Amino acid sequence: MIAIIKYNAGNISSVQNALTRLGCQSIITDEPKEILTADKVIFPGVGEASSAMKYLIEKKLDKTILAIKNPMLGICLGQQLMCEFSEEGNTKCLGIYNTLVKKFPNTDIVPHMGWNSFTKVDGTLFKNLKTIDNVYFVHSYYAEINEQTTAVCDYIQPFSAAMQKDNFYATQFHPEKSADIGEQILKNFIEI
């Protein structure tokens, strides 16, 4: 069973629909016991960092996430909240990844919305990919490149499109909205 963490952020149903298309059973939950006993955990997110972290703390989901031993995948805001600190709302985050989340410089082309390619990929999430082109992004903040970066994308500047540390995996892009390449990335996560 895959647990999808329910918290004050959107995009949960599209993640569950993608898992259903792959033949996987999932539950949407904010119950620590269900999250900690799931075979895999997905931490999705579309929203704002400070209000999302506030909700996680209120529900004690921050401690639950840090205690997860099985593979966990953070998506978009989920990846950002797994970092040390976000400039969005000056938010102290979970600290799984030793990097900062910064706002793209103010330009007419922010948010980064639409399809983009990787300039570098490495790691388990990216095995069996036929191409490293065209994954779907929607974000105005980005995680800096660091020693845990497994994929890099360039939009205004290079940033961490994916990261991995121990059992924690994360993508800034939305695999559930990224067609065949996203489906393969989700399959790779499910097979870990």
Catalytic sites, residue numbers: 76, 174, 176
SS3 state of residue 70: coil
Residue pointed to by tokens 């996430």 = 65
Q: State the Cα–Cα distance between residues 132 and 4, nearest whole angstrom.
A: 26
Contacts 24+ apart (CB under 8 A), 103-109: 103/140, 103/141, 104/140, 104/141, 104/142, 104/155, 104/156, 104/157, 105/156, 107/156, 109/156
SS3 state of residue 56: helix
